[in-house]
Structures are given as C-alpha cells and as structure tokens.
Amino acid sequence: MDELELLKKHWQSDAVEEKQLSSQDLYPMLWKKSSSIVKTLFYISIAELIFWIAITFLPKLSDSYRAKVENTQIDETLLTGLTVLSFAVIILFIYLLYKAYKNISVTDNAKKLMESIIGTRKVIQYYVGFNLIMAFLSMMLGSYYATQTDPKFGELMTKLDTGGKIGVAVAIIVLTVIFVGIIWLFYKLLYGILMKRLNRNYNELKKMEV
C-alpha cells in the first residue's frame, strides 16, 4: 500500500472519530435543552389553564354579566358542554406535556429523543388546531344567538334591506376571522418560540443520526 492510500485512511479514521466525539459531546446538551423546553411548555400550559379559568368564571360573578346572558337566551346546556369540553382538552394537553417531559427525562439515545420531540410537536399542533376550531365555533354561535335572541339586533335587521343584511353577514365573517387570527397569534407567541428551539434540537439530532 502506497503512502497516499495510508494518508487517506488516516484522514477517514480521524473524521469518524471526530464525528463520534462531537456526537457524544453534543447529545447531552441537546437532551438537556429539549428537556428544559418541554418542562417550560408544561408550566406554560398550567398558566394557560389558570388564565382560561379566570376568563371563564370571573365574569359570571358579575350580576350584569348574568343578566346579559339571560337576556340573550343562550342554551345553557350547549354553553356548559362546550366549556367542559374545552377544559377537558386543556387538562389532557397538560397531562400529555407532562408525559412528554417524563419521557425525555429518561431518554438515553438520540433516536428516542427525536421521537419524543416529534410527539411533543404533534401534541402542540393538535391542541392549537382544536382551540382555533373552538374559537371559530364560539364566534359563530355567539353571532347566531345575537341575531336570533337580541331584540335590538333583531329590530335592526328588520330595517335593513338585502344589501344591508349581506353587509352584516360579511362583517360577522370578518370579525370571526380577526378573532381567530388573534387566538392564532396568541398561541404563536405562547408556544411558537419554544417550538422553534425544539425543532432546532431535532434537526441537530437528525444530523447526528446521518
């Protein structure tokens, strides 16, 4: 074997060794960062639960709020059902994040860590998607009850011609889109930054697996 072939083999062995060393050094850092990110997501989800509890139940302590709800003749069974469903999903979300954090905490290799990150990402995506759908349905139901049961709104609608009614419908749709967009931005800010960091960790782990 000539000197050139020996030199090539030496370079290749050094490259493999360097990759192994860098992977061994990099994995604990990525594992620690990922664990910390999911733990933070878990704490944020608990804070979000407290926030929604306050938003949902504090206004009900007001007599004026209760009177307003009674005047709109909202179906209490439907409203209670949607509220219970929403909080059940939040609690399930918190549990799944806690489970993801525990899984990452005991993960001992890059492949399992990547699977945990993917699972966490899916949980966040499904949760945000559910809340956007609920925001849309809430606006639609609120608009429906306003048009059907609010005397002042009903009186206004009787005075409008076809063009005016179409304008009201368009305005309701625009407001609904804006409301859903605000909810989307809320979750983008709440979870988006941490999810980007988690995705970066996943991409680094993927490079290590190549």
160 to 153, 166, 168: CA distances (angstroms): 11, 9, 9
For residues 172 and 3, the model is more confident at 172
For the cut 70, the answer to whether the pLDDT of residue 61 exceeds it is no
pLDDT digits (tens, 9 = 90+) for 27-48: 778 888 888 999 999 999 999 8
Residue 1: strand, helix, or coil: coil
Q: Angle between the 110-149 and 151-159 helix axes, to the nearest 10 degrees?
A: 70
User: Are 29 and 210 in contact, with CB atoms under 8 Å apart?
Assistant: no
pLDDT mean across residues, the chain:
78
Q: What was the pLDDT predicted at 193?
A: 87
Taking Cα atoms as reference points, which of 29, 36, 49, 52 lies closest to residue 194? 36
Q: What are phi and psi of 108, to 5 degrees?
A: -120, 10
- Rounded CA-CA distance 45/35 in Å is 15
Give the CB-side neighbour count of residue 160, counting CA atoms within 13 A: 15
Q: Angle between the 63-72 and 110-149 helix axes, to the nearest 10 degrees?
A: 70
pLDDT digits (tens, 9 = 90+) for 130-149: 999 988 888 888 777 777 66
Taking Cα atoms as reference points, which of 20, 79, 88 lies closest to residue 49? 88
- Rounded CA-CA distance 184/140 in Å is 17
Domain count, the chain: 1
User: Are 199 and 132 in contact, with CB atoms under 8 Å apart?
Assistant: no
Q: What is the residue range of 122's domain?
A: 3-209
Q: Angle between the 110-149 and 162-209 helix axes, to the nearest 10 degrees?
A: 170
Tell me the mean pLDDT in the region 6-13: 48
pTM: 0.74
Q: Who contacts 195 (Cβ-Cβ below 8 Å, separation ≥6)?
A: 121, 124
Taking Cα atoms as reference points, which of 186, 35, 27 lies closest to residue 98? 35
